[in-house]
């Protein structure tokens, strides 16, 4: 079993670098970031996602892309403010910290940035979660699975209790593996902050809106399913102030 502590190392490249976990990868191949393999569905996100084979096993490669109005001018370039501030390195470090906290997130394998003048592009490689399906893919069957819904609520509470704020909590970033364990993915712009009910509620409301857009909360069964998630979440956090 791989350790949860990340041994971060850096490989310098012309115009960029790759930060990688030496605990899982003896060395890193820049070719992993130029995929020719199977492209995966990015779900509700805007990143381009591929499945890549590495010595550490199957991995998921995500290329960071912009959203909103700014994407009209630059689809995947960000303002350069230093290597440690790149989107990929920040997410790599956050995932490493969450793994140390024993939270169900994918293991970070490598993060790449490539600079050109005052901008850069970014990519992140994480271990693939075996047999995982998104919450969106599990609908509508999961609406009838009380145990799964309560487990989801408790899992979200684990993150909130630890002060983990997911910037884009939606039905495509919540996964359940073949053993019934819930995971969260895509922590771009995520953060650690003091546990407070205010932002917990905002994160849950974002997930609720995501499910609503999929048309899964607009009947009695859907509303009851969401209430079950929230009750399990709140019960797990009742002693947190």
Q: Residues 146-172: pLDDT tens digits? A: 999 999 999 999 999 999 999 999 999
Query: Using one digit for the tens of pLDDT, what is the confidence trace for 74-123?
Result: 689 999 999 999 999 999 999 999 999 999 999 999 999 999 999 999 99
Domain ranges of the chain: 8-127, 133-236
> Which helix (H) or strand (E) segment is 184 a member of?
strand 182-184
**DSSP helix/strand/coil, 178:** coil
Query: Using one digit for the tens of pLDDT, what is the confidence trace for 22-58?
Result: 999 999 999 999 877 567 755 544 557 999 999 999 9
Contact 186, 207 (CB under 8 A): no
Alpha helices (H) in the chain, listed in sequence order: 87-100, 135-138, 146-161, 197-213, 220-236
Entry field: residues in the chain: 241
Alpha-carbon gap, residue 22 to 6, rounded angstroms: 7
Structure tokens at 174: 């919540």
Structure tokens at 180: 């019934």
State the fold for domain 8-127. Answer: Phosphorylase Kinase; domain 1 (3.30.200)
Alpha-carbon gap, residue 121 to 123, rounded angstroms: 7
Alpha-carbon gap, residue 143 to 216, rounded angstroms: 8
Return mean pLDDT, the chain.
Answer: 91
- Domain 133-236, CATH class in plain words: mainly alpha
The region, left, alpha or beta by phi > 0 then psi within -120 to 50, assigned to residue 43 is left
Eight-class DSSP state of 106: P
Contact partners, residue 66, CB within 8 Å, separation at least 6: 46, 74, 75, 76, 77, 78
Peptide bond into 140 cis (omega under 30): yes
Contact partners, residue 91, CB within 8 Å, separation at least 6: 108, 111, 124, 187, 188, 190
Alpha-carbon gap, residue 46 to 30, rounded angstroms: 23
Q: Return the active site residues.
A: 168
Nearest residue to 95 via CA among 6, 207, 200: 6
Alpha-carbon gap, residue 209 to 32, rounded angstroms: 35
Answer yes or no: is pLDDT of 6 > 70: yes
pLDDT of residue 44: 46
Contact partners, residue 141, CB within 8 Å, separation at least 6: none
């Amino acid at each position: 079993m791989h350790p949860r502590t990340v041994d971060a190392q850096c490989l310098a490249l012309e115009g960029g670098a790759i930060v990688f976990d030496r605990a899982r990868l003896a060395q890193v191949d820049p070719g992993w970031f130029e995929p020719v393999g199977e492209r995966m569905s990015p779900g509700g996100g805007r990143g381009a996602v591929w499945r890549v084979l590495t010595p550490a096993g199957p991995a998921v490669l995500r290329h960071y892309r912009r959203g909103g109005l700014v994407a009209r001018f630059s689809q995947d370039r960000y303002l350069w403010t230093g290597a440690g501030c790149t989107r990929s390195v920040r997410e790599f470090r956050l995932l490493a910290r969450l793994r140390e906290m024993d939270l169900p997130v994918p293991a970070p394998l490598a993060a790449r940035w490539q600079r050109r003048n005052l901008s850069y592009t970014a990519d992140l490689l994480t271990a693939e979660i075996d047999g995982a399906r998104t919450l969106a893919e599990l609908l509508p069957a999961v609406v009838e699975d009380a145990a799964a819904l309560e487990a989801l609520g408790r899992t979200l509470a684990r993150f909130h209790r630890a002060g983990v704020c997911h910037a884009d909590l939606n039905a495509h970033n919540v996964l359940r593996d073949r053993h019934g364990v819930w995971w969260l993915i895509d922590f771009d712009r995520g953060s650690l902050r003091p546990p407070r009910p205010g932002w917990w509620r905002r994160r849950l409301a974002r997930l609720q809106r995501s499910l609503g857009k999929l048309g899964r909360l607009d009947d009695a069964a859907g509303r009851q399913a969401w209430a079950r998630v929230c009750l399990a979440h709140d019960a797990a956090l009742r002693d947190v102030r």
